[in-house]
């Protein structure tokens, strides 16, 4: 496997269920991200991990709980979701999270195929 | 804070004709700029990246973009559209958090349709 993989690709869950999304990157990167992509809205950054430490949490409801056991794996644990949480959840990774410096620019991110989540 | 505006939500072209997807950004410092493409039911794929080395950036699949600081623009072009180019395109600018680390700010996207 190469790049960034995500499982499952599709998930349907009830509002009382508990499920987890999994992301794995095979690029040797140090930073990993969770994004939410809803219809007609810009991509929303949810969580950022750098070297397995969370460095960003964009006011995401506690019903979303991330876990990063090592630099290659990232999970998003879901419980008691709402119908408005239905969306495409994208995982991404980058070489690192801190800037290279003004001359080097920002690191590009590599994305997985996403998990299409439907909450019923 | 940085921001990015994609000026067209939908663009429709005929196969073999040029493609122009427009993007304007605002930035208080020299940003990095990116274009990503997303095909249906797929993740985002990096098309190209600008980091101040050269103002004209060539990417994959014949796409290129030109950084124009005076116009704060980073438009994406391709000389001849192919049916496989039909997808959603995102213009992205880097932002620098007060904590010193960078993050990416995504535009709302432009959906490109290519007709035979």
Residue B103 pLDDT exceeds 90: no
B43, B52, B60, best to mutate vs chain A, most A CBs in 10 Å: B43
Please give the structure tokens belonging to residue B71. 């116009």
Task: Determine if the peptide bond prior to A12 is cis (ω within 30°).
Answer: no
The pLDDT value recorded for residue A13 is 92
Nearest to B46 among A42, A105, A108 (CB): A108
Residue B25 pLDDT exceeds 60: yes
Determine the residue of chain A that is closest to B44 in CA distance: A111
The pLDDT value recorded for residue B54 is 83
Query: Cα angle at A80 between B40 and A78, to 5 degrees?
Result: 50
The list of chain A residues with pLDDT below 50 reads 102-103
Coil/strand/helix, residue B2: coil
- For CA atoms B96, B100, B102, B108, the dihedral sign is negative
Residue B46 to residue A110, Cβ atoms within 8 A = yes
The pLDDT value recorded for residue B14 is 97
User: How many A×B Cβ pairs under 8 Å?
Assistant: 65
Q: Quick one: average pLDDT of B94-110?
A: 79
Q: Quick one: average pLDDT of B38-49?
A: 92
Residue with tokens 């499982």: A7
Beta bridge partners of B33: B50, B93
């Amino acid at each position: 496997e190469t790049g960034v993989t995500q499982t499952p690709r599709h998930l349907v869950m009830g509002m009382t269920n508990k499920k987890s999304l999994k992301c794995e990157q095979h690029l040797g990167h140090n930073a990993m991200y969770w994004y939410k992509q809803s219809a007609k809205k810009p991509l929303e950054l949810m969580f950022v991990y750098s070297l397995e430490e969370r460095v960003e949490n964009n006011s995401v409801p506690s019903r979303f709980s991330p876990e990063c056991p090592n630099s290659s794996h990232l999970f998003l644990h879901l419980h008691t979701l709402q119908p408005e949480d239905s969306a495409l959840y994208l995982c991404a990774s980058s070489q690192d999270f801190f800037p290279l410096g003004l001359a080097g620019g920002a690191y590009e991110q590599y994305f997985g195929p996403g998990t299409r989540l439907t909450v019923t | 804070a940085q921001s990015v505006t994609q000026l067209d939500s939908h663009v429709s072209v005929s196969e073999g004709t040029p493609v122009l997807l427009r993007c304007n950004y605002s930035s208080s410092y020299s940003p990095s700029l990116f274009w990503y493409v997303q095909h249906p039911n797929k993740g985002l794929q990096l098309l190209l990246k600008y980091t101040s080395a050269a103002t004209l950036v060539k990417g994959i699949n014949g796409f290129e973009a030109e950084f124009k600081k005076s116009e704060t623009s980073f438009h994406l072009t391709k000389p001849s559209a192919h049916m496989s180019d039909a997808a959603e395109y995102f213009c992205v600018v880097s932002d620098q958090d007060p904590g010193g680390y960078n993050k990416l700010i995504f535009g709302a996207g432009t959906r490109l349709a290519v007709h035979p």
